[in-house]
Chains A and B, each alone.
Chain A
Amino acid sequence: MTSCDCSTPPATPRRRVRAAAALASLAAAAAVFTAGCAGVEPWERDLHARADMAADVHDAAIDDHIYFSKEASSGGRSFAGGGCGCN
């Protein structure tokens, strides 16, 4: 076995790498959106103003509770939270 190269920094924990990657992705995505979009003028927002273009928060809350109770993941769109001793 060879001796270690003590000048090499210790390995970064996997989780920190993932967190950094996620934040970098988010920052890159944000930069692309803001730089790449010429901007939609307020009078061009008629389609965005339509009710079906907004998330249905009522149904989303119902679904979040069902899947929170039955799967190991939660949150994403909103807070992961806690709040039940689910079966």
Chain B
Amino acid sequence: MQLKRKPVGATLAAATCSLLGSLPAAPAAAQEAKDWNVDTSLLYYGEDNGRVEDVSLLASIRRAFDEDRTLAATLTIDSLTGATPNGAVPANVPQTFTGPSGGGSYTVAPGEQPLDTTFLDTRVALSASWQQALGNSTRWSVGFSGSDEYDYLHLGLDARLERDFNLRNTTAFIGVAYGQDEIKPVGGIPVGLAPMGGEVEDDGEDDDDGDDDGSERGRDADGSKDVADLLVGVTQILSRRSLLEVAYSYGQADGYLTDPYKILSVVDPVTGVPVAGSEDEVPYLYLYENRPDSRTKQSLFAEWRYAFDRDSFALNVRFMDDDWGVQSQTAEARYRWNINDRSYLEPHLRWYTQSAADFYRTVLFAEDAVPGFATADYRLADLDAYTIGAKYGLRTDRGEFSLRLEYYQQSPTESPGSAAGDLAGFDLTPDMKAVIVQFGYKFDF
């Protein structure tokens, strides 16, 4: 999430130069003509009601040096705009929220879902990997990933080993990844479950570097987290037409896992009206969210693919469970209709459901004790979602062009007992609808 816009044009230009600069200056020799694979996409993701919009440019390039060695790299540039729910619930009165830096504010009309309209972001991500054979049946790879936003930096390393057995009908793999993320929110790291605007008053002066890192208000300037993942699995050819992949993953995240920009409303348990705040600028009481500083996830994934004479079908499922109380199930199906040698149509369906985190609260009540952890982030609520869409591809002598259109809808559910008094008249967790449009172009040379 970000609050200042970076010059997108300059970023795009730099990215394009860097990509082109990595291409060979002269056409490769005939026998190397297909050693390079380039896959590019321009993606639009847009939510309804003026919420998040993302325009994203992705470019993947892959170079096979021989049958045994491959270098791959992907560059992604995201430009995000729009508004995102800040966690507070609607009220029968106008609600004013302070910006994260203590200065600036935005007001939400009665009955409207409070959306934080102050974020803008540009994200640049780069990943690269090297894969190499180790004998006839074993391959290893190492990779690097990094991404940079105005207030967020990610750096990661990963490694993977895979080995074929059983006349290459079976491939077993194991991978590990480690990432370190640093978050430096505008206005610093708020104290979890402290009142918004209720901390030490900002004197209005920025520190020496001109940014508001919260130090003026006694906040830490940044937080960090470490994420470690283990992935083990097997791919098995079941018959001439089908194969099955099964993977188990275990992930451990430690550090600052809270969203520094999210808050919770505190309301009267009978009337549902927001409780008065102590500050003139913040007439109602809102608390910053607070999440545990560790999270363990595990998931089991399986995909089955089947080839018809002309078409193919893929079905995958995933079961995820974490120690925050979230359990999720995902099912996804794709049918690839190979219309002819040059074109295909691929309908896609995805279904997803998750249970709420133990500490998810749509709203807090004034008479209750403040819990140790609480979030009103709908992404940790009881949630159902589905995606329906299709991709069309056309192969030409110049490469393959594709267009993907998808519709995504989420339906969160409020925590039990949230609709007290006036709140019963509002949709506390409205559905979110989004469209995804992706133009693709890929070619080999």
Contact = CB atoms under 8 A, between A and B. Distances in A.
Whether chain B is bound by chain A comes out as yes
B438 A62 contact: yes
Contacts of B349: none
A37 B248 contact: no
Interface in A25-42: 25-26, 29-30, 33-34, 37, 39-42
A42 B436 contact: no
Interface residues of B, number: 106
A52 interface: yes
Contacts of A86: 1
Nearest to A57: B60
B179 interface: yes
Contacts, number: 206
Given A52-B344, A71-B385, A73-B330, A84 B249 contact: no
B326 A81 contact: no
B336 A52 contact: yes
B405 interface: no
Contacts of B147: 83-84
Interface string A62-87: 10011100111111111111111111
A84 B123 contact: yes
A59 B303 CA distance: 16
B326 A73 contact: yes
A81 B145 contact: yes
Interface string B248-262: 111101000001000
The number of chain A residues touching the other chain, given as a range, is: 35 or more
B268 interface: no
A87 B248 contact: no
B354 A39 contact: no
Contacts of A66: 45, 408, 436
Chain B CB count within 10 A is highest, among A39, A42, A45, A58, for A58
A18 B248 CA distance: 12
A76 B1 contact: no
Nearest to A33: B236
B324 to A, nearest CB: 8
Interface of B: prevailing SS: strand
Contacts of B240: 40, 44-45, 47-48
Interface in B311-336: 311-312, 314, 316, 318, 320-324, 326, 328, 330, 336
Nearest to A29: B246
Nearest to B225: A82
B26 interface: no
A71 B328 contact: yes
Contacts of B30: none
B119 interface: yes
B312 A53 contact: yes
Given A50-B307, A82-B225, A76 B238 contact: no
Interface stretch (B4-12, B17-25, B210-218, B293-301): B293-301
B236 A72 contact: no
Given A86-B1, A87-B52, A37 B237 contact: yes
Contacts of B408: 66, 70
Contacts of B440: 58
A23 B248 contact: yes
B156 A81 contact: yes
Given A37-B170, A42-B168, A59-B404, 17 more contacts: A37-B237, A37-B238, A40-B169, A42-B167, A47-B241, A48-B243, A50-B307, A53-B243, A58-B58, A59-B438, A61-B58, A66-B45, A72-B380, A76-B320, A79-B158, A81-B229, A85-B151
Interface of B: 1-2, 39, 41, 43, 45, 52, 56, 58, 60, 74, 76, 80, 82, 84, 119, 121, 123, 125, 145, 147, 149, 151-152, 154, 156, 158, 165-170, 172, 175, 177, 179, 181, 183, 185, 225, 227, 229, 231-234, 236-241, 243-251, 253, 259, 296-303, 305, 307, 311-312, 314, 316, 318, 320-324, 326, 328, 330, 336, 338, 344, 352, 354, 357, 379-380, 383, 385, 391, 404, 408, 410, 432, 436, 438, 440, 442
7 contacts: A72-B354, A72-B383, A73-B326, A77-B316, A78-B231, A79-B231, A83-B156
